[in-house]
Amino acid sequence: MTLPSALAEPAPGSNAELDVLDDPVEQRAFTRFIDGQEGRLAESAFLVSGMYCAACAGTIEAALQQVDGVLDAQVNAAGQRAQVRWDPSRTRVSELVRAVRGAGYDAVPDAAAPARELRRRERRQALWRLFVASFCAMQVMMFATPSYVASGNQIEPDLRQLLNWGCWLVSLPVLLFSAGPMLRNAWHAVRARRISMDVPVALGLLVTFVASSGATFDPQGVFGHEVYFDSFTMFISFLLAGRFLEMTARHRAAEALEQSLAGMPETALRLRADGEVERVSVQRLQPGDRVRVPLGAAFPADGRLEVGTTQADESLLSGESVPVLHRPGDELVGGSVNLGGPVVMRVERVGADTRYQAIVTMMRDALSQRPALARWADAWAGPFLWVVLLLALGAAAVWSVIDPDRALWVMVSVLIVTCPCALSLAAPSALVAATGALARRGVMVQRLDALESLARIDCLFMDKTGTLTEDRPQWVSTERLAGDGAEVQAQQAALALARWSSHPLAQALASDPRAVGSAEAFAWSGVREEVGQGLQAMDPMGQVWRLGSRAWVLAEATAPAQGQEVCFGPVGRVEWRFGFEERLRPDAREAVRALQAGGVKVALLSGDDPARALSVGTALGLDMARGGASPADKLAAVSQAQAAGQVCGMVGDGVNDAPVLARADVSFAMGHGALVSRVHADAVVSSNRLADLVAARALSQKAIGIVRQNLIWAAIYNAACIPLALAGYLPPWAAGLGMALSSLLVVGNSLRLAR
């Protein structure tokens, strides 16, 4: 039965399927737009399938850069991701995907649904290719067994010829179907005048098949009478089995990371002006929309709670599974899960502006990068492959003199066993696995090279407020200075007014348990906030009150503050004083001790009062504590330490920390910090836990150790196997098994970091 054309789904890869990607609304899920010197530019993230080595990444990059309008393309073979910067006025997303497919690979937008479909399709194809190769290899071995066990002339020449024909016929599906991707990738690399891992493999396969075919149809010809169809099919089976296991490991890591970031729903229940509810795509939400969020559903955007009280699971952002209580007016984070009951929220930020999307973007950028260690391995892989080709030709020439019958398969063994897949995967597989593990802890790495610097760090500078101490001070005292409280219950009124401000001291008042119910009990009107001073509002009796600094309430510019305080009263008179103290983060002492025990010098650089900075430094046992430091002072301190040969790190959260975060060898911004500080940092501690910073250093050291293990293994493998292949002790099927197991060992060793 044929579906009507209006209902029929487009075939995979069709123009209709690709044209959907050019819809600006759909592009929000995988594209961000930036303003550059050449106008408005776009950066799109893709998942790429069919890659097996770092050289494949170079082939794809070259194909993308040939598209008119593509300004930059970065492809990470280990993460199988591509990051493309392009000019929307000159090209389209569909053209980018067509370029990747034209190079012999496949690409889909880096969003959850198409990524899952791509993995399913890639796994299914890999299984079929492996099944065909393995099944045919068994049949070839059955045909070849009589030739191995028979001696002398026990098998008639015509029967031996018939068996060889059977081997040739059964080997055809293996060559054309199972080995098809390798041959195509090698051809595309040669056309692009590049050399990839598949080039020597494909050359070895073709030489083996052609020589064996010549021996089958013309036993007296130049290729002799020996056939190698059994080695040919067994090699492809072993290679595909190794690549299938490697692909499974990559998919498992990708799925684990995807699950940790897959918090945003695909649809939302939007309230229309007439009160009716309509289900829309989250891509259609706009700031100002009111959305109903059922129990157990995820908040579809960033916004504020309007109706209802609930708890939210914000582990996606913080790594902390303890639910967070939210009341009307509180900020809600897209991707967190509603655990309390049905509520209504007002949307404030959507799409790329949400905190969830910022985390996803950070992870995409990190996974699309090629770290320095990987670039070093890639730089050596190309020349190494040329050396492999020369070694193979040289071995064939030497063995053609020593033993012409063995020259062919010695050359093939050399071509196969020396494929540097393990070398190219050594660094990126480990660093990508470590990045995924850190993401699940609430540390979002934006630059993979930062892990190498973090492992070598020996001096860490830290900001005070919001980093070593809580971003909100603790309300510790309440003092009644004047007034009789007859007109209003002043303390509760102050708490209700504090909810109108985002200042840390006001938020400390508003979030205190003593503030429960105050917002509903007092209806302030005409509320306005004076930046740096405080709030002013009118009570139901028409009297004007102020909450803020002592000078603001007294309307006297010279009135000095008495410590950390918030004053409250009618204009011109302070009736209440609320005192505050800084609170150290619960894990600050343990984190500092752990860092110092690991040989890291921990120093405090703060712009706050020197006495407070010294007090915090003394309480934590820091190596140095300096207060009153301007951004230039912080920058100078880090530069001086770097000039002395130290590898310096910086942890901060404020706008004034951005320059020093950019200058440090490795930098961390706290998740609640200013946007500019998060942009300049190498990683964002979205969990706001200093213990995770210690864990990140430990994991980075382990990751660099595993990279070294992988590189050592790759060197040992090649040093041992190349002489064996040159000496003729390694048949092609054993060479294929060794190469597959070598790559699998590297990937498996790296995946230990993901646990």
Catalytic residues: 463
Specify the pairing of strand 106-109 against strand 81-86.
unpaired
Beta bridge partners of residue 349, listed in sequence order: 302
Q: What is the 3-state secondary structure (H, E, C) of 608-666?
A: CCHHHHHHHHHHHCCCEEECCCCHHHHHHHHHHHHHCCCCEEEEECCHHHHHHHHHCCE
Q: What is the 3-state secondary structure (H, E, C) of 454-494?
A: HHCCCEEEECHHHHHECCCCEEEEEEECCCCCCCCCHHHHH
Specify the pairing of strand 648-652 against strand 624-626.
unpaired
> Cα(704)–Cα(696) distance, rounded to whole angstroms?
12
Q: What backbone torsions phi and psi does residue 703 show, to the nearest 5 degrees?
A: -65, -45
Distance of CA 730 to the CA centre of its chain: 40
Lookup: tokens for 566: 């918030």
Whether 626 and 645 have beta carbons less than 8 Å apart is answered as no
Measuring CA to CA, how many Å separate 590 from each of 240, 622, 651?
48, 12, 16
Burial 490-510 (b: 16+ CB within 10 A, else e): bbbbbbbbbbbbebebbbbbb
Ramachandran category for residue 288: left, alpha or beta (phi over 0 → left; psi -120 to 50 → alpha): left
> Cα(418)–Cα(387) distance, rounded to whole angstroms?
10
Helix (H, G, I), strand (E, B) or coil at 111: coil
Q: In this structure, which amino acid lies at residue 498? A: A
Residue 635 has, within 13 A of its CA and on its CB side, a CA count of 10
What residue spans of 150-197 are helical by DSSP H? 157-173, 180-191
Lookup: tokens for 250: 């990559």
Lookup: tokens for 127: 């299984």
Length of the chain (residues)? 755
Measuring CA to CA, how many Å separate 423 from each of 56, 206, 434, 715, 734?
14, 25, 18, 8, 19
